[in-house]
Structure 1
């Protein structure tokens, strides 16, 4: 398989230059130190640019996490809410929240953060003209400033996901009203003016970005590092070699087996958060997949154990649309309907469906051989039950454009999830009632989704509600989900001390790290 071949190629490259670089005490040795420069190798620059309101892909979220902040922030557990640009908050009614802003906070251009900036920022997320991917997640009716340091968010209806959304730099990032209005959309793609720990110093499209410590950051003495350079290196083999040769200090790895070699060579590798669901979105409104028995047969015709062993190189686990690595769901859904491998039953269901010969078109992104390998194995498995699948590869940006416009031009679309701003977002992307991406017509599903947002307030309630929805989607096979595995792995040299990876994969705790020379 292609993924295995890629892993072997990288492993060979590693073997030629590995060495023990681990220092005494590892990456946690010594107290934090100010100063130093860090180089991080990135696969891509953000396609959507640096504006947080548009940051949906992983690369955009990683940069938003360095430049922007929300009113709140999430602790490393992904559940506990902490103060950020707001020092406190309270729910004044079932549909109203009041936030008290932190005194003395400034944007990177030196201007103070005002209540009017917060009002502008949150209204911007729900403004149809902005075309934010987070618009559908909010139930905001109005945002007002009730004082110089007070902001009130009024909702159309109760929304249990609100605080989580406001705690992420990409779904709740606060911007300067004056700055945004004085910049064109194209300028906002390559410039920034947030309140985060680092500010942009230089941007070379397709090559690198240089960020420097924001001396006016409110959470002193952080950040500790003076400068972080993000070098674009598309090929994973080259990124790994650069890490081994000390050309770069950190990167993200897509191939699981490579991490084993890196650890043996003395490098740090972050925890493998299983948030990367291998999604196959299905067009259930037309064509063969409009027949539920056909969808159920296809799900039974997929050997998930083989896919995990080969496609995910053993790093995956069975999953529904919501990944087991999500802090809210936490794997609570258990075994899901039609998740077992039963080709005999699959053939019977196909015969009962009356659909005749089933031919499907699957679209996958063209720059991820590991995902293509899984798709190829799926087509091989489904051919055994009489289902033919044609794979078409598209550049990632074209695939996303087709998905968001609703013009899939396929029966099945392959995407990989990352940890979302809120558990409700996994469902919103594919099943929002009025969403262009939605290829499902099910009022009961919409009722369940709405009920979870309205009424599931505690972690336990949300876990139960979304676990039930996970099972509901699996039972009707509105999506095929072979497995969930780590999207990627943070890897870094022991020169980078005090760094913690997290399930979002956005390096949002880079402000806590320092250079240990």
Structure 2
């Protein structure tokens, strides 16, 4: 799953985040079924017939925090998206529209001016002001806060109130990516008074949150559940909640979670284990849906000083991986093999010709063991060892690590699999010392904005999430040039070059992309099956069948 870049100074803070900033969403998987399932993409589910008193929702984990500065994973954001709102709204089709900012001006390449919507109130009834916006955004710049979203703000010079309802953000360099991030948790606005009053308790089960969304936090029973209740003073009538109450129950055991869905004890859930899809499709308890994703499962090359430092060896491994077989075994065939690190869904507003080139004018890396063996021989590294890090997080991780080891052995290299705890695996993404001696590890990396540059920006030289220290001056120049272009169609003409360079140089090895999975029980309907549920108030759209 994707994560915005974390500054090096915050590595210790990030490593402390409960199960898996980067792999937590994958924890919902169980041992995968090797039988491919019948699936197709859906943009929506049937509209509700009316309102409903309440429904229950299963989450694979309890949120680490509902503080937007730390809401950095599936468990956190699927709840927070219904309670707190951002300056912009990331819609199910991955377009951006006005949110708490009714409009955005871009008077110079380095400045964005947000005009704050009038008539919005927080859940305690106090009005939203520009001062609340300044206070909320400024927390991301405060080292004492240690925001997980700092990377979105790393070029911010100032955040100032410049009118009764205007807030101006000034950047050190031109960059439209800042504004595109304002539809994610990076753009969430909270009451300044609440932030001050709650202090260190803000966002936890004791302090709670006080935002502007269609639901407000009613109860948080630590280790058990979170209950939301409809906020009747919500400003947007088009998203007035259909259900008076939503109860999220924390169910870490995937088997128990699936059984609760199949029996009707729980009404719905995201992140359905691939092994359970056929079971739920065949039940009379509800319906399975598959929708838009922005995630790509990849092998991160974290050591370029070893055998994988030679491009020939990275190419050889790609050619030795039976990626379709891996998808069938790890994900029941739900998804598609990919040769690039983004999905078409995030190329919003791009030139169609650029998108076509970005996905077709690239190397395919077909399965070819003979050619792969020759590349390893030409590189002169036959017999050298490659270390793969994994963890007992899901069957998907076991399948991918074992298949990668087999592929390495098949082309004349030695493979060693090291298994660590889920917490230690999380540290791979935040602590450089945790990656010492590790050549490869798996991630399912999702994007939080409608632009592929979010992916390629983290692979520039020196970026925190460029885990292997890969460096390509041409790539850096292309990405930096693209990030200074406002028009998405014009920008995409440059971005395609970045995608092609990454495809050719393989700093990460793309495997496959799987759709967002959603199960709705027979009592409810209305949610769009899209990964935008991490930032869009999806629970408000659910009502009675």
TM-score normalised by the chain length of structure 2: 0.83
Distance 1:4 1:364 in 2: 15
1:89-119 deviation per Cα after TM superposition (whole angstroms, max 9, x unaligned): 2222222222221112122233322111111
Report 1 or 2 for greater relative contact order, CA contacts < 8 Å, sequence distance ≥ 6.
2
**Equivalences for 1:299-314 in 2 at 5 Å?**
299-314=318-333
RMSD: 2.7
1:140 aligns with 2:169: no
| Distance in 1 separating the partners of 2:507 and 2:201 | 37
CA contact (8 A) 2:54 2:246 kept: yes
Within a 5 Å distance, the mapping from 1:18-417 to structure 2 comes to: 27-28=46-47, 30=49, 32-33=50-51, 35-47=52-64, 49-79=65-95, 81-138=96-153, 139-168=155-184, 170-185=185-200, 187-190=202-205, 191-220=208-237, 222-256=240-274, 258-266=276-284, 267-319=286-338, 320-328=340-348, 332-334=358-360, 336-337=362-363, 339-407=365-433, 408-409=435-436, 410-417=438-445
TM value normalised by structure 1: 0.87
Q: CA deviation at 1:43?
A: 0.5
Task: Tell me how far apart the structure 2 counterparts of residues 128 and 340 of structure 1 sit (CA, whole Å).
Answer: 46
SS in 1 for 2:531: coil
Instruction: Please give the secondary structure, in 1, of the residue aligned with 2:86.
Output: coil
Residue 114 of structure 2 aligns to a residue whose secondary structure is strand
How far apart are residue 176 of structure 1 and its match? 2.0
State the distance in 1 between where 2:273 and 2:471 align: 37
The offset of 1:431, in angstroms, is 4.3
Separation in 2, partners of 1:507, 1:256: 23
Are residues 108 and 376 of structure 1, via their aligned partners in 2, closer, same or farther at CA, if it must alter by over 3 Å? same
Structure 1 residue 461: Cα displacement: 3.0
Match of 1:502 among 510, 526, 530: 530
- Unpaired segments of 5 or more residues in structure 2? 1-28, 38-44
Q: CA deviation at 1:41?
A: 0.7
The match for 1:444 among 474, 485, 505 is 474
Indicate conservation of the 8 Å contact 1:236/1:253, yes or no.
no
Q: Is the CA contact (8 Å cut-off) linking 1:53 and 1:171 kept in structure 2? A: yes
Counterpart CA distance in 2 for 1:449 and 1:7 is: 40
Moved more, 210-219 or 392-401: 392-401
| Unmatched tracts of structure 1, length 5 or more | 12-25
Give the superposition deviation at 1:252: 2.2
The one-character-per-residue Cα deviations of 1:372-410 (angstroms, maximum 9, x if unpaired) are: 212212221221111222222334333222321222131
Q: Distance in 1 between matches of 2:421 and 2:55?
A: 30
Contact 2:294 2:446 (C-alpha < 8 Å) held by counterparts:
yes
Q: CA–CA distance in 2 between the matches of 1:397 and 1:202?
A: 28
Contact residue 225 and residue 248 of structure 2 kept, 8 A: yes
Is the contact made by 2:177 and 2:454 (CA closer than 8 Å) also made in structure 1? no
Query: In structure 1, how many angstroms separate the alpha carbons of the residues matched to 2:135 and 2:233?
Result: 22
Contact 2:291–2:529, Cα closer than 8 Å, also in 1: no
C-alpha displacement of 1:227: 1.0
Please say if residues 73 and 83 of structure 1, whose CA atoms lie closer than 8 Å, have aligned partners that are also in contact.
yes
Change (3 A) 1:29 1:194: closer
TM-superposed CA distance for 1:263, in Å, is: 3.4
How many Å separate the matches in 2 of 1:29 and 1:98? 38
Shift of 1:287: 2.2
Query: C-alpha separation between the residues in 2 aligned to 1:149 and 1:309?
Result: 53
CA-CA distance at 1:145 after TM superposition: 0.9
Q: 1:402 to 1:29 in 2, by over 3 A?
A: closer
Distance in 1 (CA, whole Å) between partners of 2:498 and 2:265 is 46
1:479 alignment partner in structure 2: 508
SS in 2 for 1:89: strand
Rounded to whole Å, the distance in 2 between the matches of 1:507 and 1:118 is 18
Distance 1:437 1:185 in 2: 31
The answer (yes or no) to whether the contact 1:43–1:234 under 8 Å persists in 2 is: yes
Distance 2:56 2:210 in 1: 22
Q: How many residues align?
A: 493
* Structure 1 residues 57 and 429: alpha-carbon distance in aligned structure 2, compared to 1, 3 A threshold: farther
Report deviation, 1:62. Answer: 1.2
Shift in alpha-carbon separation, 1:494–1:211, aligned structure 2, 3 A: same
Q: Quote the Cα distance in structure 1 between the aligned partners of 2:365 and 2:448.
A: 24
